[in-house]
Amino acid sequence: MTSSTYNDIVSLVQQKDWKGFEMLYNTYGQKFFSFAVKRWFLTEDEAWEVVYQTLQTLVLKLPIHKFESKKHFENFLYKVFINYLRQHYRRHRKKQSEEVGFTISLQAAFAEDEPATNDDPGSAPELDTQAIREYYRDDVAESPNLVALKCALHQLKPDERDILLLRAQNYTYEEIAKMLNIKNNQLKVKHLRSKKKLIQLLNKKTANHG
Amino acid sequence: MANSNKVNALAEALRIMLLEEAREADVDLSAKKMQLILSLPDDTLDMSKEKRQQIVDRLFKTASEPSLGELIRVSMKRTKFTESSLAKVTRVPATILRKLKSDSIVPNKVPVLLLRDILNRLQLSFDIAEKAVLKTFTMIQKTELDQLKASPVRAWARRPGEDKGKVLINKTEDTAGRELYENKESLIKYLSQLKHLMEDKKQ
């Protein structure tokens, strides 16, 4: 998006011009909607709520806050979007666990669009699946060893880390190849190796602390 | 979604980590992440035309309804009150009046009798004021909530092993740690008092 689009959106929304709201939706809302459905598995109704709440917060904020730049504007919008996405994602998973017999498995396929394979590098036994389920609830819960996971991730090479994080968000190998400028045919192997390395690091960490 | 009832624990933990980290990202990291969303492939999924229209309509409605500050500013012009003259007749401190005009104070933080006097002087009915008060409350609440949620010292900041690998995620209620007058329940009570006072005056 160019700076002039950003300036136009801010100015038109502040003037309560219909075009500004349409531009706001077309520039950000549509992308947020697609991201919430395709990457975070929300239903279309849930994603609609996330987009509406995000844009409504911005519309309410604009009259009383002057953004320094497009970067600050987008930083605000991104944070608000993530907050709502997080709330709805947790609610969505909680509902799934109550209604669908949803299970968190160490062996299930890593990404939603691929079957579990025999060449799976194994599991990370120290990941507390109960804690993941507790995370979906609103009351106080313990995180599923996220600090250990974060440390292990930071020991990977940047491209290994990127592949794992993008794959976890359901990006296809083709999309990841474009984003990271890597050949698609190397990606699946690279993904499996990165996953294996991450699991080894996690297991090593557990053994050391155990 | 394939196998929607079976989720890989590692992938799910990575997703949770991404969500938690994103909330604390600095401006540069947020910009990078935002670019990733905005540069989504061409096959971007969109909602139906009706749903899209519904969002645009609602956003327009949200923006079009006047806030309390806007309502006071417009009504001051109409009734030819200046800030000092209105402050004088209502005995509302000028600083409070200024904050009300700029929507930078939660309306129910202003003593209800004083707000009643302002509204009466500006010849505003309760029904009109009520909507404006609710809008200003939401505006301020949303702004503060974002700051509140973006700032807590969360699990990520802790050193690994500090608590044997398990950390407590700071799950505050949306209104936790906030002043009493800032919650919706107290606003509703405040509005009911205001309505009562304004109706009393009419009779």
Residue A73 included in any domain: yes
Q: What are A104's strand-pairing partners? A: B7
Give contacts of B47 with chain A, Cβ < 8 Å: 30, 33, 44, 47-48, 51
Residue A129 included in any domain: no
| Radius of gyration from C-alpha coordinates of chain B | 23
The torsion angle over the Cα atoms of residues A163, A167, A173 and A179, rounded to 10 degrees, is -60
Residues A93 and A149 reside in one and the same domain: no
Interface test with B, best of A16, A73, A146, A155 (most B CBs within 10 A): A146
Average pLDDT, chain A: 83
Six token digits for residue B133: 């008060």
Residue A85 included in any domain: yes
Owning domain of residue A167: 145-209
Q: Which of A99, A124, A156 is the last residue of a domain?
A: A99
Chain B residue with minimum CA distance to A28: B38
Q: How confident is the model at residue B137 (pLDDT cuts 50, 70, 90)?
A: very high
Of B122, B116, B138, B140, the residue nearest B191 (C-alpha): B116
Residue A136 included in any domain: no
**Model pLDDT for residues A106-121, shown as the tens digit of each residue:** 667 777 666 655 555 5
The CATH number of the domain holding residue A46 is 1.10.1740.10
Smallest Cα distance from B1 to chain A, Å: 6
Chain A residue with minimum CA distance to B45: A34
Residue B180 touches partner A, C-beta closer than 8 Å: no
**Model pLDDT for residues B69-122, shown as the tens digit of each residue:** 999 999 999 999 999 999 999 999 999 999 999 999 999 999 999 999 999 999
Six token digits for residue A175: 């999309």
Contact B50, A11 (CB under 8 A): no
Total structural domains within chain A: 2
Of A78, A47, A55, the residue nearest A9 (C-alpha): A55
- Which residue positions in chain A have pLDDT lower than 70? 1-4, 100-102, 106-107, 112-128, 138-145, 205-210
Residue A55 included in any domain: yes
Residues A14 and A71 reside in one and the same domain: yes
Burial class, B175, CB count within 10 angstroms (exposed 0-12 / middle 13-18 / buried 19+): middle
Residue A126 included in any domain: no
Residue A201 included in any domain: yes
Interface ipTM: 0.86
pLDDT of residue A133: 77
Residue A124 included in any domain: no
The CATH number of the domain holding residue A193 is 1.10.10
Asked if residue B164 has pLDDT above 50, the reply is no
Question: Are B155 and A147 in contact (CB < 8 Å)?
Answer: yes
